Copies of this chain bind each other. A is one copy, B any other.
């Protein structure tokens, strides 16, 4: 998106994904697959997908043997 033409009226929709302890990594990945790819005719991402925790940035536990490192 660094070569994106300047357009003050364009803003992608923001999709916020809330990551809670015990989450299923399988499910956490779905919104990124669905919303992370669509672009308009000028190649701009239509959605901005942001994964958030209810705590300060840090690890969120999953139901698997690894944690997710959340930045937001």
Interface residues, chain A, with chain B CB atoms under 8 Å away: 19, 24-30, 32-33, 36, 49-51, 59, 62-72
Contact = CB atoms under 8 A, between A and B. Distances in A.
- What secondary structure prevails in chain A residues at the interface with B? mixed
A51 B26 contact: no
How many identical chains are in the complex? 2
B36 A26 contact: no
Contact of A69 (B24, B59, B63, B72): B59
A29 B36 contact: no
Contacts of A26: 25-26, 29-30, 32-33
Contact of A25 (B32, B59, B63): B32
Contacts of A19: 66
